[in-house]
A and B are shown apart, each in its own frame.
Chain A
Amino acid sequence: MPAGPVPGPAAVVGGEAAQQDAASWSPSTVEVERRAYRRSRATRSAAVSAVSTVVVLGVLAWLVTHSEGWPRVQETFFSWDKAVSSFPAVLKGLWLNIRLMIVCGISILVLGLTLAIMRTLRGPIFFPLRLIATVYVDLFRGLPLLLLLLLLGLGVPALRLPNVPTELVFWGAVAIVLSYSAYVAEVFRAGIESVHPSQRAASRALGLSNGQTLRHVVLPQAVRRVTPPLMNDFVSLQKDSGLIAVLGATDAIRAAQIETASDFNYTPYVVAGVLFLCLTIPMARLTDHVARKQGWHGAGGAL
Chain B
Amino acid sequence: MTSESATTPTGGAAPDAPLLTVRGLRKSFGEHVVLHDVDLEVQPGECVVLIGASGSGKSTLLRCVNLLEQVDDGVITLGGLDITDPRVDADEVRSRTGIVFQAYNLFPHLSVLDNVTLAPRRVHRVARAEAERRAMAMLDRVGLAEKARARPDDLSGGQQQRVAIARAMVNSPQLLLLDEVTSALDPELVGEVLDLLRDLRAEGMTMILSTHEMGFARNVADTVCFLDGGRILEQGAPAEVLGAPREPRTRQFLSRLVS
- A residues sitting closer than 8 Å to B (CB atoms) are 1-2, 4-7, 10-11, 13-15, 17-19, 21-22, 25, 27-28, 30-31, 34, 37-38, 41, 301-303
- B residues sitting closer than 8 Å to A (CB atoms) are 24, 26, 28, 31-34, 36, 53-56, 59, 63, 72-75, 84-87, 101-103, 105, 179, 183, 212-213, 228-230, 249, 252-253, 256-259
Distance between A194 CB and nearest chain B CB, rounded to angstroms = 11
**Contact: A6 with B256, CB < 8 Å?**
yes
Query: A27–B26 Cα gap in the complex (Å)?
Result: 10
Instruction: Name the residue on B nearest A17 (C-beta).
Output: B229
Query: A204–B31 Cα gap in the complex (Å)?
Result: 36
**Contact: A15 with B229, CB < 8 Å?**
yes
Chain B residues within an 8 Å CB radius of A21: 33, 36
**Contact: B73 with A28, CB < 8 Å?**
yes
**Contact: A11 with B213, CB < 8 Å?**
no
Query: A30–B83 Cα gap in the complex (Å)?
Result: 13
Given A4-B256, A11-B53, A22-B28, answer yes or no on A34-B72 (Cβ-Cβ < 8 Å): no
Q: Contact check: which of A1, A14, A17, A19 meets B212 at CB < 8 Å?
A: A1
**Contact: A5 with B256, CB < 8 Å?**
yes
**Contact: A18 with B86, CB < 8 Å?**
no
Chain B residues within an 8 Å CB radius of A41: 86
Distance between A225 CB and nearest chain B CB, rounded to angstroms = 15
**Contact: B257 with A301, CB < 8 Å?**
no
Distance between A298 CB and nearest chain B CB, rounded to angstroms = 13
Query: A58–B257 Cα gap in the complex (Å)?
Result: 70
**Contact: B213 with A18, CB < 8 Å?**
no
Most buried by A among B53, B103, B213, B252: B53
Chain A residues within an 8 Å CB radius of B63: 303
Chain A residues within an 8 Å CB radius of B75: 30
**Contact: B212 with A25, CB < 8 Å?**
no
Given A18-B229, A21-B33, A303-B102, answer yes or no on A4-B72 (Cβ-Cβ < 8 Å): no
Distance between B126 CB and nearest chain A CB, rounded to angstroms = 27
Majority DSSP secondary structure for residues of A touching B: helix
**Contact: A11 with B229, CB < 8 Å?**
yes
23 A-B contacts (beta carbon < 8 Å): A2-B213, A2-B257, A4-B259, A5-B212, A7-B53, A7-B55, A10-B253, A13-B229, A14-B56, A17-B229, A18-B229, A19-B31, A22-B28, A22-B33, A25-B26, A27-B73, A28-B73, A30-B75, A31-B73, A302-B59, A302-B102, A303-B63, A303-B101
**Contact: B74 with A28, CB < 8 Å?**
yes
Query: A10–B256 Cα gap in the complex (Å)?
Result: 13
**Contact: A27 with B102, CB < 8 Å?**
no
**Contact: B86 with A38, CB < 8 Å?**
yes
Instruction: Name the residue on B nearest A16 (C-beta).
Output: B229
Chain B residues within an 8 Å CB radius of A17: 36, 229
Chain A residues within an 8 Å CB radius of B28: 22
User: How many pairs of residues, A versus B, come closer than 8 Å at their CB atoms?
Assistant: 81
**Contact: A18 with B32, CB < 8 Å?**
yes
Q: Contact check: which of A2, A7, A22, A303 meets B103 at CB < 8 Å?
A: A303
Most buried by B among A7, A15, A34, A37: A34
Query: A5–B253 Cα gap in the complex (Å)?
Result: 7
**Contact: A5 with B103, CB < 8 Å?**
no
**Contact: A14 with B229, CB < 8 Å?**
yes
**18 more CB-based (< 8 A) A-B contacts, given A2-B257, A303-B105:** A1-B212, A5-B53, A7-B53, A10-B228, A11-B53, A11-B229, A14-B56, A14-B230, A15-B229, A19-B31, A25-B26, A27-B72, A30-B73, A30-B75, A31-B73, A37-B87, A301-B103, A303-B179
Distance between B97 CB and nearest chain A CB, rounded to angstroms = 15
Chain B residues within an 8 Å CB radius of A13: 229
Distance between B71 CB and nearest chain A CB, rounded to angstroms = 8
Chain B residues within an 8 Å CB radius of A19: 31
**Contact: B59 with A34, CB < 8 Å?**
no
**Contact: A31 with B228, CB < 8 Å?**
no
Most buried by A among B28, B33, B249: B33
Query: A18–B27 Cα gap in the complex (Å)?
Result: 11
Chain B residues within an 8 Å CB radius of A301: 103
Query: A22–B27 Cα gap in the complex (Å)?
Result: 11
Distance between B168 CB and nearest chain A CB, rounded to angstroms = 14
Chain A residues within an 8 Å CB radius of B256: 4-6
Query: A177–B102 Cα gap in the complex (Å)?
Result: 47
Query: A13–B252 Cα gap in the complex (Å)?
Result: 14
Q: Contact check: which of A2, A4, A15, A34 meets B84 at CB < 8 Å?
A: A34
Chain B residues within an 8 Å CB radius of A5: 53-54, 212, 253, 256-257
Task: Give the top 5 A-B pairs by smallest Cβ distance, nearest first.
Answer: A14-B229, A18-B33, A31-B73, A4-B257, A5-B53
Q: Contact check: which of A10, A30, A37, A302 meets B252 at CB < 8 Å?
A: A10
Distance between B45 CB and nearest chain A CB, rounded to angstroms = 26
Instruction: Name the residue on A nearest B51 (C-beta).
Output: A5
